[in-house]
């Protein structure tokens, strides 16, 4: 596996690892020089999308003619991807992961890939609220790479989903001809917001409560830490994007009576070791209350890295198996707080999501098994039913 990436800060990887105080010093000492040799490409930057705390250190950014418009920024990112592919002799699938700080919510609502590409390539950037994460996603799609939104912002959209459809990228239009060459290989659009240890446990805990026949009424969660990601969330515009996702992790269960509250705090002394306290209050037989509390301590960064490796491997493997976007979305739903795209509406319970992964793997490997969802998806692929009919069937199955 070859690794590279962009950063808006010039700090070398090994030095950043040392400064973050996440891993044991002896391990850092052994890998620091080697990591410092890894090239960090300049990042696309828009100060309005991050908290004010990030502005002073954002010095390693795309500038000059390369930053003069959305078009030039996307083309610079595409050039970076091609250079990485050539330098590392990559012959497999490439996945671009947004693991940067959370952006504020972008004020955009594109209905089609044509509209999105037109605003990037054909019109002035003035007045358009297109976030850097959207530009990275567009560059990834045009280069035939998967894109993963590991942050909480509203990067994913129907327009982006269409752009990642290889049939769209293979179609003929004057707009696409101007953007050529476009890589038409299968690529996936996944997200949103990596679901690491605490949130995974929270959904598993509520899954357990529901299995007991209890009715969850209040979930009050508080977490605090002192890394740069949390520093960025001291800005209201970015924390609003984070809360949008955190408050919606139980969405598909339609627990309308559930009062789910989340508070986050920046505490510099704690560093990367997140502290998380959650109290679950539910109603049981004859309305008797059932309350339990959990306390978790863990290194926030260490929890997320395995998810990045997982999603990279799954994208490569499932692309080789010619899996559909819906199959890949369902298979990787366990990685995200709010699964979107093909995974939208998947049961948020951890064990249910593991079943989804197993069913998709059985289906693409040709093994016996699979689920009704696989049959429905095959029907869409073979033109027997439409996507709208498939969605209606899935909704009926849930009832």
**Where do the domains of the chain lie, and which CATH numbers do they carry?**
5-191 (3.40.50.720), 197-300 (3.30.360.10), 370-399 (no CATH)
Ordered per-residue pLDDT tens for the chain, 399 residues: 899 999 999 999 999 999 999 999 999 999 999 999 999 999 999 999 999 999 999 999 999 999 999 999 999 999 999 999 999 999 999 999 999 999 999 999 898 999 999 999 998 878 899 999 999 999 999 999 999 999 999 999 999 999 999 999 999 888 999 898 999 999 999 999 999 877 888 888 988 998 999 999 999 999 999 999 999 999 999 998 888 776 677 777 777 788 999 999 999 999 999 999 999 999 999 999 999 999 999 888 888 999 999 999 999 999 999 999 999 999 999 999 989 888 888 888 888 899 999 999 999 987 655 567 777 877 887 788 888 888 888 778 766
* pLDDT for residue 367: 60
Q: Of 108, 16, 8, which Cα lies nearest the Cα of 51?
A: 8
* pLDDT for residue 349: 85
* pLDDT for residue 74: 98
Residues facing 43 on adjacent strands:
61
Phi, psi of 214 (to 5 degrees): -85, 160
Phi, psi of 72 (to 5 degrees): -65, -35
- For residue 255, the tally of other CB atoms under 10 A from its CB is 16
Q: How does strand 215-225 pair with strand 146-149?
A: unpaired
Tokens representing 150 are 């590991």
390: left (phi over 0), alpha (psi -120 to 50) or beta: alpha
Beta strands per DSSP E along the chain: 5-7, 40-42, 95-98, 146-149, 189-191, 215-225, 259-266, 273-283, 289-299
- For residue 77, the tally of other CB atoms under 10 A from its CB is 26
* pLDDT for residue 203: 86
* pLDDT for residue 73: 98
The rounded distance, in Å, linking the Cα atoms of 116 and 374 is: 31
pTM above 0.85, yes or no: yes
């Amino acid at each position: 596996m070859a690794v590279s990436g962009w950063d808006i800060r010039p700090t070398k990887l090994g030095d950043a690892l040392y400064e973050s105080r996440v891993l044991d010093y002896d391990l850092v000492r052994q890998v620091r020089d080697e990591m410092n040799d890894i090239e960090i490409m300049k990042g696309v930057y828009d100060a309005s999308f991050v908290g004010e705390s990030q502005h002073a250190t954002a010095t390693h950014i795309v500038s000059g003619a390369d930053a003069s418009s959305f078009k030039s920024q996307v083309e610079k990112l595409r050039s970076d991807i091609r250079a990485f592919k050539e330098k590392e002799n990559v012959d497999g699938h490439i996945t671009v992961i947004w693991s940067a700080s959370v952006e504020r919510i972008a004020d955009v609502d594109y209905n089609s890939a044509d509209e999105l590409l037109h605003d990037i390539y054909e019109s002035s950037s003035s007045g358009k609220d297109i976030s850097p994460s959207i530009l990275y996603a567009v560059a990834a799609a045009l280069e035939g790479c998967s894109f993963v939104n590991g942050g909480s912002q509203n990067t994913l959209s129907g327009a982006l989903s269409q752009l990642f459809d290889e049939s769209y990228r293979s179609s003929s239009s004057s707009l696409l001809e101007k953007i050529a060459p476009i890589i038409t290989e299968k690529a996936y659009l996944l997200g949103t917001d990596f679901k690491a240890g605490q949130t995974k446990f929270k959904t598993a805990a509520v899954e357990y409560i529901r299995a007991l026949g209890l009715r969850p009424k209040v979930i009050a969660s508080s977490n605090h830490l002192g890394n740069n990601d949390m520093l960025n969330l001291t800005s209201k515009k970015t924390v609003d994007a984070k809360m949008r996702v955190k408050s919606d992790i139980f969405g598909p269960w339609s627990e309308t009576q559930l009062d789910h509250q989340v508070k986050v705090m920046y505490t510099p002394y704690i560093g990367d070791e997140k502290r998380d306290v959650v109290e679950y209050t539910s109603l049981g037989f004859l309305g008797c209350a059932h309350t339990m509390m959990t306390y978790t301590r863990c290194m926030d960064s260490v929890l997320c890295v395995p998810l990045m490796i997982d999603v990279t491997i799954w994208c490569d493997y499932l692309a080789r198996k010619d899996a559909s976007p819906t199959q890949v979305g369902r298979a990787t739903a366990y990685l995200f707080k709010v699964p979107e795209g093909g995974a939208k509406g998947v049961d948020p319970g951890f064990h249910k999501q593991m079943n989804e992964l197993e069913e998709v793997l059985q289906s693409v490997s040709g093994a016996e098994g699979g689920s009704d969802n696989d049959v429905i998806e095959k029907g869409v692929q073979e033109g027997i039913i439409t996507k709208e009919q498939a969605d209606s069937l899935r909704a009926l199955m849930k009832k």
